[in-house]
Structure 1
Amino acid sequence: MAQIPVVYGEWKLEENSWHFVVDIGKGGRMWFLNDGCTFGQLTEMARDDYILGKRTEIIELTYALPVSMLQNMAPDTPPMHVTNDRQVSSLIALSIVHLLRLYEEFGEDVEENSEESTDDEADSSDVNDDGEDVDDAAYSDGEDYSVYGKVKDEDDDEDEDEVCIEKKSTKNLFVAKCRVEGCAWMVRASVKNDASTFWVTKYVKHHTCSIAHRMAHRGKSTPKYIGQLFISYFGIIDGLTPVHVRVSMKHMFGIRIDYTTSYRSLIYAQQLVRGTAEDGYASLPAYLHSVNKANPGTVSALHVDSNNKFKYLFLAFGASIAGFQYMRRVIVVDGCHLTGKYEGTLLVATAQDGNFQIFPLAFGIVDGEDDASWEWFFSKLRECVSDGYPLVIVSDRHNSIKKACSTIFPWAKRGICYYHLQHNIVT
């Protein structure tokens, strides 16, 4: 096992020598890496430690060679980049012999615009466009999930509430920078052929200053900035209430906020870590593709309406389907209402293993417990169960389940759940 300290910042080439400028606001971390650690695990650790959630920035992991090795090399030898599993193995092996520090940066997945800029202060290499890698199409049982479109980048929406000041702006040139001295955030645009149109020639998306420094330059504290400040200092949101946010802001920063502001701040902090409900639905095609790729034999389906909006989801892991072949042929189905932003109903199909424990077989998300949704769920469940053996389906007395069961599983026997039956009799 190797123990390696990790810091966040930016490499700079000064006087023919590379130096790493540490971002003190983000602090350092200590990683303990086992032999066989992969590059994917390293990047996940970076996202988790620095609270990146689902962001799609390119994580750049680098380290400087030991002084004893650099003595025989050119003074401008660049830092070593960790880009794959082989490089991770080299890093671990080297850290056992020498004291190393891993450096972490975040770049953007961008393309250079080939069109030349007429701005004398900008060159063509400054023109960036955000891009997405969508080479892999997602397939499951013949269904192409790529037809549902690209997964939305959480950073596509520009931050309309950032603190900025205009510098060196004229009728033909617009330059805006962060108010915090030394922060790299900036945008520059200039007039090209059409005098009425500005072209963005350079855009640095991410702030290198801390959220606390940006708040110091604001006239008021909005829920958005308080949520960012809370995440940057605490990094956790599970089990917290608006009261926790309000008390923390008062004692640590002297910021007094009411309950409504603290509630909205907590909601925004949750979105920073978990993403929004819309982002979750948009990520379903990519998620199902990953699930099918990692779990052979998985049965999944995503159904949308005529407006290409989510309607039904079905998922049965390959391991669950294979394991059911060794269970007693009894399936219990039920549904429960969801309380999220878009509500809906969760449908489940379970069995019982030899230890009398619940064995999950399949899950489904539908708009409600009606004839159409239950029939669709059973039609997908039919792909997970063979008809070569007797089958019993246990449920409550819902008429839609009865209709779907007789249509999709005509050979199966249907039983009524004793708990639900007793509850119906008592009430």
Structure 2
Amino acid sequence: MVLIYVKSGEWISSCGDQWSFLADKTRGGRMVTLETTTLLKQLKIIVCEDYGVDHMLVNAEFSYEMVNQRGNPPIIISNDRQVSNFVSYTKKSSSTTLFVTLSATGAKEKERVNIDLNKEPFDSSNFEDEEVPETNQGDFAIPSKESTHKMKNHVATDGFGDAGLRSENNGSIDFVKKDQIFRSKRVLKETMEIWAMKNNYDYIVLKSTRKWWYIRCKDKLCNWTLHAECLDGFTYFMINKWVGIHSCAPSKKRKFEKTASARTVGKLIQHRFDDANDGPKANDIIQFMRLEHNCEITYWQAWEVREHAIAAARGIPNESYAKIPKYLQMIKETNPGTHTHYETTEDGRFMYLFMSFGQSVRGFYNAMRRVIVVDGTFLKNKYKGVLLVATAVDGNSNLYPIAFGVVDSETEVSWEWFLRQLKVVIADSKDLAFVSDRAASIAKALGTVYPRMEVHRFTDGVYTTATWRTVYAESINPIAVPKVDWNVPVEVKLAKVLPPEARKSSGRPVKRRYETVEDKIRSSQE
């Protein structure tokens, strides 16, 4: 049995054969429970029931996409065997989403849908220059209907592919064209940064607003220029003026670092960073840029590129805080009985977070001793803080997590807040015991939140400096004299200890082909 997130909408594809799913905002998403034995007919009934529609009156087409195959055509589920395959795949990849397209019974099957500018794009926010959102496969250039026949062979799947970033020197046609449309200003800027880096040119920005973006070559006498305009009511940017041939001399070329930012170059290599310790180092990045892009960068620039690549691969910390409300809500929907809570300051700054899974609480009440260990440890990320935990010990002497909390520091206020949230799932009772270190803030908070609990100071006299020094007051002495000078009693000197009898190994005896160390020592003593 596996929990699966279901999203309603329809698939669309651009002229570059990049597929993406346009979600129906009015229907939203649902969570369903499926097994490998679930039939396609049962799946349709379950999903239609959750969406509040009659399964007899609608057609439901189910599909999904592979985690590492974003942008490719979706996999359609059309029979019971494919439902079983999907559930088995979901067990291995928990981030898989089931897509469903609902249509009225009797309606003709929809043909391939091209992206329509009259529809709201997926990323409807207009990014500012300092924001660092993720770059997806489907973000880049979508040609307008008027210029499709001119550009359909030059639409890149993403802004970092070599297919549209070809150099003028080899006679290839450039990726950027007049009437070219980009999903956002950010995508357009990144594309031009990489284009300038690959062609070893530099440009200056003449105008940059939410509506316009003008750039020209850094050489004032050069004719190279680009004007882009944001389409009214959308985040799309279209190039309405483009002079793509440089009239400046090669000696006027500038260094790469003045055009392509470390953030943009970091996205070029972020796929190499599954982990911060496994990705390329700064010197490797310098070599990569020299060989792959014919660019020279300094060690400091390579270090910044590496930091941006790690941030892009891991996720940016300050953007993660914005996902807390949605994340906690999905955790509660996915895990019934889970208690989560977070608090912020008056200006919206993060303060506290608490999470206790319903499965852990039920397991504690059903099969655990009523002993809870509470403690905290420091967090070493950008924003610091302290991780508070409440754990128990199961019958196999393994730690059993009950609750987690993130606070600013280990104070009486933060511990009291954490324990009050814990009290929501673990009620106060006389048979409940807490184990902690000798922190005064924990003792005060426990006395306030759990007044019925009896306090036993079994270890107060043990965890002191004086007691510690007493335990380790004596040390183990080594033998100070060599073996020949050992002075022992006669009976000890005459005592003999022989080795145990050697056990003959079973099977045919192995012929010794060389003299062992024991044989050499024995022969030397004879």
Q: TM (normalized to structure 1)?
A: 0.56
Work out the CA distance in 1 between the residues paired with 2:324 and 2:63.
22
Contact 1:393 / 1:415 at 8 angstroms: preserved in 2? no
* Structure 2 residue 303 is the aligned partner of structure 1 residue 263: yes
Q: Which amino acid aligns with 2:354?
A: F
Instruction: Select which of 404, 409, 416 maps to 2:445.
Output: 404
Given the superposition, is the C-alpha separation of residues 178 and 346 from structure 1 closer, same or farther in structure 2, using an over 3 Å criterion?
A: farther
Contact 1:188 / 1:202 at 8 angstroms: preserved in 2? no
Contact 2:134 / 2:312 at 8 angstroms: preserved in 1? no
Question: How far does the alpha carbon of each residue in 1:299-344 deviate from its partner, in whole angstroms, 9 at most, with x for none?
Answer: 1111111112110000011111111111111111111111111111
Contact 2:343 / 2:352 at 8 angstroms: preserved in 1? yes
What is the match of residue 125 of structure 1?
118
Q: Relative to structure 2, which stretch is displaced further, 249-258 or 316-325?
A: 249-258
Look up the SS of the partner of 1:62 in the other structure. Answer: coil
Contact 1:394 / 1:414 at 8 angstroms: preserved in 2? no
Contact 2:371 / 2:392 at 8 angstroms: preserved in 1? yes
Look up the SS of the partner of 1:229 in the other structure. Answer: helix
* Structure 2 residue 281 is the aligned partner of structure 1 residue 242: yes
Instruction: Select which of 193, 200, 203 maps to 2:236.
Output: 203
The Cα of 1:260 is off from its aligned counterpart by 2.5
Given the superposition, is the C-alpha separation of residues 159 and 310 from structure 1 closer, same or farther in structure 2, using an over 3 Å criterion?
A: farther
What is the match of residue 77 of structure 2?
88
Work out the CA distance in 2 between the residues paired with 1:305 and 1:346.
19
Work out the CA distance in 1 between the residues paired with 2:267 and 2:449.
50
What is the match of residue 219 of structure 1?
256
Question: How far does the alpha carbon of each residue in 1:369-388 deviate from its partner, in whole angstroms, 9 at most, with x for none?
Answer: 11110000000111121334
Contact 1:397 / 1:416 at 8 angstroms: preserved in 2? no
Contact 2:341 / 2:354 at 8 angstroms: preserved in 1? yes
Contact 2:429 / 2:452 at 8 angstroms: preserved in 1? no
Q: Which amino acid aligns with 2:274?
A: I
Work out the CA distance in 1 between the residues paired with 2:214 and 2:450.
65
Given the superposition, is the C-alpha separation of residues 311 and 41 from structure 1 closer, same or farther in structure 2, using an over 3 Å criterion?
A: farther
- Aligned residues with identical type, % of pairs: 27
The Cα of 1:413 is off from its aligned counterpart by 3.5
* Structure 2 residue 73 is the aligned partner of structure 1 residue 62: yes
Instruction: Select which of 242, 264, 270 maps to 1:231.
Output: 270
For 1:340-419, what aligned pairs fall within 5 Å after superposition? 340-388=381-429, 390-414=431-455
Instruction: Select which of 318, 331, 351 maps to 1:311.
Output: 351
Given the superposition, is the C-alpha separation of residues 189 and 303 from structure 1 closer, same or farther in structure 2, using an over 3 Å criterion?
A: closer
Given the superposition, is the C-alpha separation of residues 338 and 127 from structure 1 closer, same or farther in structure 2, using an over 3 Å criterion?
A: closer
Work out the CA distance in 1 between the residues paired with 2:234 and 2:321.
33
The Cα of 1:348 is off from its aligned counterpart by 0.6
For 1:7-26, what aligned pairs fall within 5 Å after superposition? 11-12=14-15, 20=17
Q: Which amino acid aligns with 2:190?
A: E
Work out the CA distance in 2 between the residues paired with 1:395 and 1:222.
49
Work out the CA distance in 2 between the residues paired with 1:40 and 1:416.
61
Contact 1:246 / 1:258 at 8 angstroms: preserved in 2? yes
What is the match of residue 52 of structure 2?
none
Work out the CA distance in 1 between the residues paired with 2:314 and 2:227.
27
Contact 1:10 / 1:21 at 8 angstroms: preserved in 2? yes
Look up the SS of the partner of 2:403 in the other structure. Answer: strand
The Cα of 1:391 is off from its aligned counterpart by 1.3
What is the match of residue 361 of structure 2?
321
Work out the CA distance in 1 between the residues paired with 2:460 and 2:188.
53
Given the superposition, is the C-alpha separation of residues 275 and 296 from structure 1 closer, same or farther in structure 2, using an over 3 Å criterion?
A: same
* Structure 2 residue 302 is the aligned partner of structure 1 residue 302: no
Work out the CA distance in 2 between the residues paired with 1:187 and 1:127.
20
Work out the CA distance in 2 between the residues paired with 1:296 and 1:238.
35
Contact 2:335 / 2:358 at 8 angstroms: preserved in 1? yes
Contact 1:330 / 1:391 at 8 angstroms: preserved in 2? yes
Contact 1:127 / 1:202 at 8 angstroms: preserved in 2? no
Contact 1:188 / 1:201 at 8 angstroms: preserved in 2? no
Question: How far does the alpha carbon of each residue in 1:54-90 deviate from its partner, in whole angstroms, 9 at most, with x for none?
Answer: xxxxxx6536xxxxxxxxxxxxxxxxxx5xxxx3345
Q: Which amino acid aligns with 2:262?
A: P
Given the superposition, is the C-alpha separation of residues 380 and 200 from structure 1 closer, same or farther in structure 2, using an over 3 Å criterion?
A: closer
Look up the SS of the partner of 1:383 in the other structure. Answer: helix
Contact 2:286 / 2:299 at 8 angstroms: preserved in 1? yes
Contact 1:163 / 1:217 at 8 angstroms: preserved in 2? no
* RCO higher in structure (CA 8 A, sep ≥6): 1
What is the match of residue 333 of structure 2?
293
Work out the CA distance in 1 between the residues paired with 2:293 and 2:321.
36
Work out the CA distance in 2 between the residues paired with 1:88 and 1:302.
40
Work out the CA distance in 1 between the residues paired with 2:426 and 2:343.
21
Aligned length: 294
Contact 1:242 / 1:259 at 8 angstroms: preserved in 2? no
Look up the SS of the partner of 1:328 in the other structure. Answer: coil
Look up the SS of the partner of 2:319 in the other structure. Answer: helix
Q: What is the alpha-carbon root mean square deviation over aligned residues?
A: 4.8
Whose strand proportion is higher, 1 or 2?
1
Work out the CA distance in 1 between the residues paired with 2:256 and 2:378.
43
Work out the CA distance in 1 between the residues paired with 2:63 and 2:119.
32
Work out the CA distance in 1 between the residues paired with 2:448 and 2:185.
46
The Cα of 1:126 is off from its aligned counterpart by 8.3
The Cα of 1:411 is off from its aligned counterpart by 2.0
Contact 2:317 / 2:382 at 8 angstroms: preserved in 1? yes
Look up the SS of the partner of 1:125 in the other structure. Answer: coil
Contact 1:395 / 1:415 at 8 angstroms: preserved in 2? no
Q: TM (normalized to structure 2)?
A: 0.46
What is the match of residue 375 of structure 2?
334
* Structure 2 residue 155 is the aligned partner of structure 1 residue 162: no
Contact 2:412 / 2:441 at 8 angstroms: preserved in 1? yes
Work out the CA distance in 2 between the residues paired with 1:290 and 1:260.
41
Q: Which amino acid aligns with 1:363?
A: F
Look up the SS of the partner of 1:302 in the other structure. Answer: strand
